[in-house]
């Protein structure tokens, strides 16, 4: 195991150093920040988070799970606080409570008359409130503030390894089960009629979203990760009519937003998580404006054709 871990760490070092050298080729002072090892490590981590969140955001958008992502991202807070108290890895506590919240929301929806949005709202506020109570009892909350709002510039190798493993697993699972996910996303009833295990897909996607949130904790933070699970997919949704193209556009949008946000946070000394989310939002607003212009031009062309036909 130690040999495998050492091999993976060496591979990631080679990868982020190569990325750093590539970005140092940018003209002027644009590539200057990427000469530092911590910036290269942050660059690779941010790219991984942006791409993985972008891919999963397509399913979050199409399945109308925006509130689910918000609920799970807030529900991991008590797990982080308990892990801090028990001197355990943050990722372990976050994943346990994130999974617990996902299953408890599904249980409430199935066993009571409460609808899905209400169940999510109840669990979101309950778990987040528990996290706040636990944090208020801690002697220090300095490191936990990084979990809330992200600090990719200070990311360490264990976090990068976790992000890489979760990202690789997510990409492999989406590739292997793409056909089932495609049918389930657009028509769950038809998917069930075909014999596709829709419940397994439902809970599997929940766990995948939870794992991605956990891997993104120190990059964009608990509060802001929900934006990365929604905005890239929403941006791609404005342009694409096929799920395959939507996934690629969302992954590109999430990756680019992460790079731009990381660069701006370094240059202006601001929160890296906030800068990444703002960059993603800017891409979305540009996409909205472009889409509106395209619709106006299409409408004008249609009117012109109608006048010519008369």
pLDDT for 308: 54
pLDDT for 88: 83
Give the SS3 label for residue 137.
coil
Range of the domain at 72: 2-23+44-226
User: For position 179, which CATH number holds?
Assistant: 1.10.3470.10
| Contacts with 275 (C-beta within 8 Å, 6 or more apart), sequence order | 261, 262, 264, 265, 268
pLDDT for 44: 92
Q: Is 1 exposed, middle or buried (0-12, 13-18, 19+ CB in 10 A)?
A: exposed
Render each residue's pLDDT in the chain as its tens digit; 310 residues. 556 667 888 888 888 888 888 888 888 777 888 888 888 999 999 999 999 999 999 999 998 888 778 888 888 888 888 888 888 888 888 889 988 888 888 788 777 877 777 888 888 888 888 888 887 776 555 556 666 777 787 788 888 888 899 999 999 999 999 999 999 999 888 998 989 898 888 888 888 988 888 888 877 887 778 889 999 999 999 988 899 999 999 999 999 999 999 999 888 888 888 899 999 999 999 999 998 888 888 766 665 665 555 5
The answer to whether residue 131 sits within a structural domain is yes
pLDDT for 140: 56
pLDDT for 230: 92
pTM score, whole prediction: 0.88
The answer to whether residue 250 sits within a structural domain is no
Q: Whole-angstrom Cα distance, residue 198 to residue 189?
A: 9
Q: Whole-angstrom Cα distance, residue 129 to residue 126?
A: 5
pLDDT for 64: 85
pLDDT for 304: 60
The answer to whether residue 183 sits within a structural domain is yes
pLDDT for 3: 60
Q: Where are the beta strands (DSSP E) in 84-126?
A: none
The answer to whether residue 165 sits within a structural domain is yes
Dihedrals phi, psi of 63, to nearest 5 degrees: -90, 0
The answer to whether residue 286 sits within a structural domain is no
The answer to whether residue 296 sits within a structural domain is no
Q: Whole-angstrom Cα distance, residue 272 to residue 266?
A: 8
The answer to whether residue 284 sits within a structural domain is no
Looking at the structure of the chain, the number of domains it has is 1
pLDDT for 287: 92
pLDDT for 302: 60
The answer to whether residue 310 sits within a structural domain is no
HSE-up of residue 49 (Cα within 13 Å, Cβ side): 39
């Amino acid at each position: 195991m130690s040999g495998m871990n050492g091999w993976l760490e060496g591979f990631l070092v080679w990868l982020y150093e190569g990325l750093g050298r590539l970005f140092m080729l940018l003209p002027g002072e644009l590539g200057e920040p990427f000469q530092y090892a911590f910036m290269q490590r942050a660059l690779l981590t941010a790219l991984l988070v942006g791409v993985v969140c972008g891919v999963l955001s397509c399913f979050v958008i199409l399945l109308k799970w925006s509130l689910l992502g918000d609920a799970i991202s807030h529900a991991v807070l008590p797990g982080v606080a308990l892990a801090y108290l028990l001197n355990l890895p943050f990722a372990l506590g976050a994943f346990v409570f994130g999974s617990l919240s996902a299953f408890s929301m599904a249980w409430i929806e199935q066993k009571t008359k409460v609808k899905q949005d209400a169940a999510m709202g109840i669990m979101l506020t309950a778990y987040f409130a528990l996290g706040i109570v636990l944090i208020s009892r801690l002697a220090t909350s300095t490191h936990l503030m990084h979990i809330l709002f992200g600090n990719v510039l200070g990311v360490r190798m264990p976090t990068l390894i976790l992000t890489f493993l979760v990202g690789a697993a997510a990409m492999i699972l989406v590739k292997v089960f793409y056909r089932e996910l495609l049918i389930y996303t657009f028509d769950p009833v038809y998917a069930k009629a075909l014999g596709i295990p829709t419940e397994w897909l439902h809970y599997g996607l929940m766990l995948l979203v939870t794992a991605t949130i956990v891997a993104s904790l120190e990059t964009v933070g608990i509060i802001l990760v929900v934006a990365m699970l929604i905005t890239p997919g929403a941006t791609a949704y404005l342009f694409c009519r096929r799920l395959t193209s939507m996934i690629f556009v969302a992954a590109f949008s999430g990756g680019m937003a992460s790079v731009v946000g990381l660069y701006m946070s370094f240059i202006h000394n601001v929160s890296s998580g906030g800068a990444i989310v703002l960059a993603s939002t800017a891409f979305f607003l540009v996409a909205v404006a472009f889409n509106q212009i395209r619709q106006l031009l299409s409408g004008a062309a249609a009117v012109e054709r109608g006048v010519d036909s008369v």
